[in-house]
Amino acid sequence: MPPTKKSFFEKTEVKFLGIILFVGFLLRIIFYFELKNTPLFSDLFSDSRIYFDFAKDIVRKNDWFGSTVFYMSPAYTYFLALVRALFDDVFVFARFIQILISTVNILLIYLIAKKLFSPKAGYAAAFISAIYSVFIFYSASILIETLQTFFVSLLIFYLIKDADYKFEKHWLIIGILLSISALFRANILLFILFIVPWLIYNFRQSEILKPQLASSLLFLVLGIIIPILPITINNYLAEKDFVLITSNSGINFFIGNNDEAVGVYKTPKNIDLSLDLSGEKNAEKIAGKELKPSEVSEFWFDKGVEYVTSNPGKAGLLTLKKFFLFFDNKENPQSAIMDINFFAKHYSTLFKLPLPGFYFVFLLSLAGIILSFNKTKYFTIIYYFILSYVLSTVIFFVMGRFRVALAPVLIVFAGYGAIKIYEIIRSKEMNKLIIPAGVILFFIIINVTFVPKFTFTEYDAYLNLGNSYFEKQEYDRALDYYKKSLALHSNDGIYILIGNTLAVKKDVSGAFESYKKAIEMNPENPLSHFNLGVLFSQTGNLSKALDAFRTTIMIDSTFADAYRNIAIIFYMQENYNESLINFERCLYFIKDNKAKITVQQDIKELKRRLGINR
């Protein structure tokens, strides 16, 4: 009888994996429905909002080859745009697709652990992946983490798939997967500086592989170029500016490397990234000229380098802190509204369960790494990947989100560590656990004694919820959340929002008081003066409105809407010359195309009235 073809999965594997995948899918669906019952399901904030708005514009304008340089991840933007183009409810289908991908990722992690170690280690790693709280949380979040993690898992899978690295075209796939991962977050490109020397060294050591070195390198480089090149071309055609993927590296480097940097996300003084996402206005104000996106990025990068070179000791200590913060037991979120702990406290029953988090996985992976050291030929490149990923993060700043893509590798080692510890305890060879236990204890002590602990209040979460209810015109609920935010952190921004809400509610005196408090706290915020000017205009006090708008322009000479409001006041006063001057200034600085058309029509009408033919 001819030999029967061996199936990819054995019957036992199918049974165990089926149970694990079902558990993983079920937990993700449970969180999906918990999230669906909150205002945060369809109201997006921070990075989620930026991705969604960009995707919405692509579909609305049918402009799939963008008109601006990408500031945020192009891959996730296009994913959302594609989902929006294909389905009516992008919030439902994007999340459901991510849940499926996150579930498939459990299977990928099993295959990696099985290949590196054993089926038992694979089951352990898959089970950890299924109940891993971070994977569950991001599977239903409108953020890049689930998709990037999936492509990183695929990259690791292909790095260990070919036992002898005999197939040159195999490196084409590796290059493509590395490049696609970079289109979600570009820091992973640092791995190129490790994988290329590793490939050259290993191929030169082998008489069999040496003849394939040049072609393998060529395929790797080609694979890296193919996905990135269209984005680079898009950036150049959009604004005649050479930006490889995104223009946010400079400002992110400065956020992580300045005199006030603490290792986690902290906005530097005098930069309001909520109004000036890339720091463009601030950079142009200091530089005294208009800057392209690449020049803005270079400006902030140079500022960061200047800090590092001027303060080598302080910068070195900060980098060391960031290294240990990467392995911290806290998520250190950019915003509480995108934090597991916030959901556990206010909305989620699931995350109140003792599901494993990053710190548990990391400590268990340490045991797995030590107990498996030099166990297989694949490990060197895996170690390099871990090292490059950690370094590519700590040169900027550390957030829990930035660690997610490394989790598949750590979970693989954690799975092996769990199995190996169990076997060692059963065999009573406890001396084998001395080194792993010592290293784990060292990291715990460092975490307790050296790593700084930060308090992330929920003021920004309440602020965002207030914004959500404001947009829904539920102004009383918006005020309630703004006041909760104010109680936790008093700042000019929250007073502006309270003033806006009171103004809409026709509480003019209350709005005036809020704007005045905002100005007292921060006289250099142009928005406070502008909103005060709008309120003066609405109450008919045009002279005070003009003063407020002029103050706005003194602070920010590029504030287009201030020029427009000044122009409207002069138009109402039939001072058409001054009105024309300010409309033309507005047109110079305005960026919204619809608003531009309106201003152009106003200018045309003014010129007609003034008898100007040009």
**At a CB cut-off of 8 Å and minimum separation 6, what does 426 contact?**
none
pLDDT at 181: 97
Q: Are residues 408 and 502 in the same domain?
A: no
- Asked if the structure places residue 455 within a domain, the reply is no
- Mean pLDDT across 130-135: 98
Each residue of 298-355: pLDDT tens digit? 999 999 999 999 999 999 999 999 999 999 999 998 887 788 988 898 899 999 999 9
Q: Is the pLDDT of residue 452 over 80?
A: yes
Q: Are residues 535 and 407 in the same domain?
A: no
The distance from CA 523 to its chain's CA centroid, rounded to whole angstroms, is 31
Q: Is the pLDDT of residue 24 over 90?
A: yes
- Asked if the structure places residue 299 within a domain, the reply is no
pLDDT at 277: 78
Number of domains in the chain: 2
Question: 398 forms bridges with which residues in the sheet?
Answer: 264
- Asked if the structure places residue 315 within a domain, the reply is no
Lookup: tokens for 190: 């640092």
- Mean pLDDT across 92-97: 96
Q: Are residues 538 and 429 in the same domain?
A: no
Each residue of 390-432: pLDDT tens digit? 999 999 999 999 999 999 999 999 999 999 999 999 999 999 9
Question: 264 forms bridges with which residues in the sheet?
Answer: 398
Q: Tell me the Cα Rg of the chain.
A: 28
- Mean pLDDT across 424-449: 94
Q: Are residues 516 and 555 in the same domain?
A: yes
The distance from CA 354 to its chain's CA centroid, rounded to whole angstroms, is 26
CATH of the domain at 469: 1.25.40.10
Q: Are residues 42 and 98 in the same domain?
A: yes
Percentage of residues in the chain with pLDDT exceeding 70? 97
Q: Are residues 470 and 442 in the same domain?
A: no
Q: How far apart are CA 224 and CA 510, in angstroms?
A: 57
Q: Is the pLDDT of residue 598 over 60?
A: yes
According to DSSP, residue 187 is labeled: G
The CA-atom distances, in angstroms, between 53 and each of 56, 57, 85 are: 5, 6, 14
User: Quick one: pLDDT band at residue 16, thresholds 50, 70, 90?
Assistant: very high
Q: Is the pLDDT of residue 1 over 50?
A: no
Q: Is the pLDDT of residue 474 over 70?
A: yes
> Among 449, 476, 504, which residue terminates a domain?
449
User: Quick one: pLDDT band at residue 7, thresholds 50, 70, 90?
Assistant: low
Q: Are residues 357 and 407 in the same domain?
A: yes
Percentage of residues in the chain with pLDDT exceeding 90? 67
> Among 385, 416, 449, which residue terminates a domain?
449
111, 157 Cβ separation under 8 angstroms: yes
What integer best gives the mean pLDDT of the chain? 91
- Asked if the structure places residue 256 within a domain, the reply is no
- Asked if the structure places residue 264 within a domain, the reply is no
In terms of Cα–Cα distance, which of 207, 309, 297, 239 is closest to 67?
Answer: 239
Q: Are residues 74 and 176 in the same domain?
A: yes
Lookup: tokens for 237: 């055609």
Q: Are residues 343 and 404 in the same domain?
A: yes
- Asked if the structure places residue 602 within a domain, the reply is yes
pLDDT at 227: 96
Q: Is the pLDDT of residue 4 over 70?
A: no
Each residue of 159-175: pLDDT tens digit? 988 755 666 788 999 99
Which residues form the domain of 105?
A: 11-245+327-449
Q: Are residues 25 and 170 in the same domain?
A: yes
pLDDT at 459: 85
List the single range of 86-90, 93-97, 118-122, 143-147 with lowest mean pLDDT. 86-90
Q: Are residues 542 and 396 in the same domain?
A: no
Number of H helices, E strands in the chain: 29, 0
- Asked if the structure places residue 424 within a domain, the reply is yes
> Among 449, 471, 492, which residue terminates a domain?
449
Token look-up 């980098």 returns 319
- Asked if the structure places residue 272 within a domain, the reply is no
Q: How far apart are CA 259 and CA 372, in angstroms?
A: 41
Q: Are residues 340 and 410 in the same domain?
A: yes
Q: Is the pLDDT of residue 437 over 60?
A: yes
pLDDT at 8: 63
